[in-house]
Structure 1
Amino acid sequence: MTIQVQKSFEDKKEANPCGKLFLVATPIGNLEDMTFRAIRTLREVDIVAAEDTRQTRKLLTHYEISPGKLLSYHEHNKVASGPELIRLIIEGKNLALVSDAGLPAISDPGSDLVKLALEQHISVIPIPGANAALSALIVSGLSTERFQFLGFLPRDNKERENLLRSLEDEQGTVLLYESPHRVLKTLEAIYEIWGDRKIVMARELTKRYEELVRGHISECQDWLAEHPPLGEYCLVIGGADPNEVKQRRDAWWQALSVEEHVQHYEVQERISRKEAMKKAANDRGVSKRDIYQELL
């Protein structure tokens, strides 16, 4: 790969200079969270590419910006729309990309447009602003020294389980998004693999009904049972306990295969294979089904 150096605000001397791609943050709920620079950028660019043109039209109208420059760019038309938007930028048009809310290119198709732009040596310029995940993190009361953003967890049960297993020893705070109709299922999956960690459930951030529920996963499950989920959630989950991670890594069974681990309990404690599999699963922090599959 050839190194690329971007000078975002260096004047170009070409007769027909290429335009630029601006990634413009929009409010996650409260319209007052729009920055002066974001408003100015949306006024000055030639095109505004929006994930949801109806939502963005309301925003532009509120700030008295002409909605006539709006074009659609979303997950379902990005294959056709992306190259066309890049062509317009190459021809000299300045383009602002916005998502439904918050920073574009995070858990949305904007990242694909950024890649296309960089392949054509187009300058990509961030216009910072509100972000739901970071807003939830800073008010969570959980550690902000190290964190990891997962976006939305996979819908497939096995893929979701594999991802959570791979992060079981992660000691940094974990951030993820979830819809109201899946949040309970997600909490169940996290509880099963990571245990009863501290968690903050944030919804309606910056809006009138902003709500943050702080507690342990089990407590939040009970809360949702009595208060049906409403709105999109940002979940902020505490990292793994360092002592527990060390104990797990230093465990006596680490050098044993799964078969040897199960046999140890069968012989030493004189219990059934079924019970031995259950104990081995508990030691390893996996389900009994995983142990069974390993022994097939």
Structure 2
Amino acid sequence: MTEKSGILYVVALPIGNLKDITLRALEVLKEVDLILAEDTRSFKKLERAYSLSPKEVISFYREVETEKEEKIIELLKEGKKIALCSEAGTPLLSDPGARLVRRAHLEGIKVESIPGPSALTTALSSSGVDLSKGFIFLGFLPRKEKEIKEKLKDLPQGLTLVLFLPPHRFSKTLKILLEILGDRQAFLARELTKYHEELTWSSLSELSKREEIKGESTLIIEGKEEEKGFQPPSLKEEIENLLKKGLKIKEISRRLSQKYGISSKEIYSLAKDIKS
């Protein structure tokens, strides 16, 4: 790094609620010479909310990052301080900027991370999912069904999957996931930190029935249980309660299979044993 080199700050912004901005992020945004924003309109809302002094804010979305990279590197070498911001959350998590950050490292330019909100960590921490075995983050899936199947085909079946879903592809993608993965338990984190926030445990089959959905979602899909005969602790009790209510074994099997992602035949057999 040359003595004159500037600093590239990687700044996390709120994912919904503007109050989630960190004090350090505000300090950096006030002192930098230039701000790279994936969406300048979204950034202007933050700028107005915190009365940030007017800065030069330029668009830096995926389609233009390559052509703008050289000029930004030149400015950094001249000693400029530049903030890289995605539209919301922590940059580089399914957002543009990876090329620029890697290039800065290669050029000996200082890169400084300003941590903060992330839809990924917010969804995981509010789900209660067991992450002791780890998880796989897929970001946004491809648009085409064939490409989605290709991306999922060799993944470990026992690990939790986490992905982002845009509203216009929600239903279609859920149906594809159901076909590929089978009916698994899933946690939907939609409109995180916003007024209409939705945090829901469900199943892929139930979620695939939702035709219209607003706002981006983070979807957590539990890994397939490898042990044969796995039963959630409450399964036997649920079967007993449903039998007491007069539900038929076939209907109980259907309901609980969707809820827990377990074979309906397995639940049917267990319910028959309990009833007898």
Whether the TM-score (by the shorter chain) exceeds 0.5 is yes
Hey, what does 2:149 align to over in structure 1?
161
Amino acid corresponding to residue 213 of structure 1 in structure 2: T
Using the TM superposition, give the Cα deviation of residue 188 of structure 1 relative to its aligned residue in structure 2, in angstroms. 1.2
CA–CA distance in 2 between the matches of 1:236 and 1:93? 40
Using the TM superposition, give the Cα deviation of residue 130 of structure 1 relative to its aligned residue in structure 2, in angstroms. 0.4
Using the TM superposition, give the Cα deviation of residue 213 of structure 1 relative to its aligned residue in structure 2, in angstroms. 2.2
Equivalent residue in structure 2 for 1:177, among 160, 164, 178: 164
SS of 1:243 mapped into structure 2:
coil
SS of 1:105 mapped into structure 2:
coil
Hey, what does 2:54 align to over in structure 1?
67
**Is 2:139 aligned against 1:151?**
yes
Residue by residue over 1:43-76, the C-alpha shift from the partner in whole angstroms, topping out at 9 and shown as x without a partner, is 1111111111111122112111123321221112
**Is 2:189 aligned against 1:238?**
no
**Is 2:197 aligned against 1:213?**
no
Alignment of 1:95-174 (within 5 A): 95-145=82-132, 146-167=134-155, 169-174=156-161
Amino acid corresponding to residue 25 of structure 2 in structure 1: A
Using the TM superposition, give the Cα deviation of residue 30 of structure 1 relative to its aligned residue in structure 2, in angstroms. 0.2
Q: Is the 8 A contact 1:198 1:216 kept in 2?
A: yes
CA–CA distance in 1 between the matches of 2:169 and 2:19? 30
CA–CA distance in 1 between the matches of 2:99 and 2:8? 13
SS of 1:182 mapped into structure 2:
helix
SS of 1:139 mapped into structure 2:
helix
SS of 1:155 mapped into structure 2:
coil
Residue by residue over 1:57-106, the C-alpha shift from the partner in whole angstroms, topping out at 9 and shown as x without a partner, is 22112111123321221112212211111110110001110010000111
Using the TM superposition, give the Cα deviation of residue 195 of structure 1 relative to its aligned residue in structure 2, in angstroms. 0.8
Residue by residue over 1:235-280, the C-alpha shift from the partner in whole angstroms, topping out at 9 and shown as x without a partner, is 1110121226xxxxxxxxxxxxxxxxxxxxxxxxxxxxxxxxxxxx
Q: Percent identity?
A: 43
CA–CA distance in 1 between the matches of 2:208 and 2:121? 23
Using the TM superposition, give the Cα deviation of residue 142 of structure 1 relative to its aligned residue in structure 2, in angstroms. 1.6
Who wins on radius of gyration, i.e. which is larger?
1
Structure 1 length-normalised TM = 0.73
Alignment of 1:35-46 (within 5 A): 35-46=22-33
Using the TM superposition, give the Cα deviation of residue 221 of structure 1 relative to its aligned residue in structure 2, in angstroms. 2.2
5+ residue gaps, structure 2: 229-276
CA–CA distance in 2 between the matches of 1:120 and 1:61? 34
5+ residue gaps, structure 1: 1-5, 7-11, 245-296
Q: Is the 8 A contact 1:37 1:127 kept in 2?
A: yes
**Is 2:184 aligned against 1:197?**
yes
CA–CA distance in 2 between the matches of 1:43 and 1:54? 18
Which 4+ runs in 1 deviate beyond 6 A?
Answer: none
Residue by residue over 1:114-173, the C-alpha shift from the partner in whole angstroms, topping out at 9 and shown as x without a partner, is 122122111211100000011111111222221111001111222211111111x33221
Q: Is the 8 A contact 1:147 1:174 kept in 2?
A: yes
Using the TM superposition, give the Cα deviation of residue 186 of structure 1 relative to its aligned residue in structure 2, in angstroms. 1.2
CA–CA distance in 2 between the matches of 1:182 and 1:235? 13
CA–CA distance in 2 between the matches of 1:57 and 1:155? 30
Amino acid corresponding to residue 202 of structure 1 in structure 2: A
Residue by residue over 1:173-207, the C-alpha shift from the partner in whole angstroms, topping out at 9 and shown as x without a partner, is 11100111211111111111211111011111001
CA–CA distance in 1 between the matches of 2:17 and 2:220? 21
Structure 2 length-normalised TM = 0.78
CA–CA distance in 1 between the matches of 2:216 and 2:177? 18
CA–CA distance in 2 between the matches of 1:36 and 1:84? 29
Using the TM superposition, give the Cα deviation of residue 35 of structure 1 relative to its aligned residue in structure 2, in angstroms. 0.4
